[in-house]
Amino acid sequence: MLILFMLAMLVLIVFAAEVFVNALEHLGERLKISEGVTGSLFAAVGTAMPETMVPILAIFAGTDNQTLNHEIGVGAILGAPLMLVTFAMGLLTVVSWRARGGNALFTPEPTGIRRDLNFFLAAFSLAAVALFVPRDYPVVRLAIGLGLVLVYFIYILLTLRASANLVENGHGTEAGKPMLLARLGLPPGMPVILLQMILGLALLVAGAKGFIHGVEATAAWLGMSALLLSLIIVPIATELPEKVNSVLWIRRRKDTLAFGNLTGAMVFQGTLLPAIGIMLTPWDPRIEVLAGVVITLAGALWLRVLLARGALRVWHLAVNGGLYGVYLMIALS
């Protein structure tokens, strides 16, 4: 029964992602913004809501056990970017190999992806340094946390500023299909676009939340710790919206949207959420945590080097997927 429930939630997530992606493309087209902004800001932040709520709710409104709340919060905060950099990127190789071939080039608009990775590497490195700042130095931790928040706002400003030039150079967002609600007879205007986006997001959150409950029940049956559960199991469930959206876009050869959705979410989850963890949890360098941080940074650096060389091929992302396997061996040993 539990397996059937989880499968039903997966179907709901896939459907919700299609609804949300369709509305986003029409919103970007109507606002005349670039695919990079649509992917890196709108899609990334919107679909990051399910996994964002897990650590926030755990830290601020979790159980009576404060230690358990902190373990869930820290695990969810650090597990999300780990999944995006490794498992989610590796998934793009799986869905692209047959149609394009292992040596084929991905062709995202490079400046936005490079900007995303630059901000993520800088911010997440700072979050890694904060692991070694003792709790006896709350002012230092507060300064690092507020610095990460400032980094994200600077990122937003630069991303929006770059949009106009990208549209002029042919990277404007284009909707590939008619809007879903318009097919039901509703007028295809801005109110209906926003309505469809809200509907898609609501379904995404509901599907991800339901899937989390199913995974948590399974993990409890297996006897896993709260930290390990949050680092491995919860991100798999909560990252499904990003992965499904990017899979849909990569199949349509909209590489800029697909990668922007993932790298934009990496910036969001590598700045604002670690800021909360640094300021409000112990944020200690336990082996599971430290290994996840190091592997996440290694995967992001690998992508940045490939983009600098101008040759991001399908098989390259298999390396990122392999890094996730390395993390599992470390965490489960």
Q: How many residues does the chain have?
A: 333
Residue 285 vs residue 12, higher pLDDT:
285
Q: Report the pLDDT value the prediction gives residue 161, as an integer from 0 to 100.
A: 73
Q: Is the pLDDT of residue 173 over 60?
A: no
> What's the whole-number mean pLDDT along residues 270-293?
90
The pLDDT confidence band at residue 301, using thresholds 50, 70 and 90, is very high
pLDDT at 208 over 60: yes
Tell me the pLDDT band of 93, cut-offs 50, 70 and 90. very high
Q: What mean pLDDT do residues 56-65 have?
A: 63
Residue 48 reports pLDDT greater than 50: yes
| pLDDT value for 320 | 96
Question: Is residue 246 scored above 90 in pLDDT?
Answer: no
High-pLDDT (> 90) share of the chain, %: 30
- State yes or no: pLDDT of 40 exceeds 70: no
What pLDDT score does 64 carry? 64
Residue 202 confidence (pLDDT) above 60: yes
- Residue 270 tokens read as 């590598």
pLDDT band at 144 (very low <50, low <70, confident <90, very high): very high
Indicate the SS3 state at residue 313: strand
| pLDDT value for 171 | 42
Q: Span 232-253, mean pLDDT?
A: 75
Would you state the pLDDT for residue 147?
95
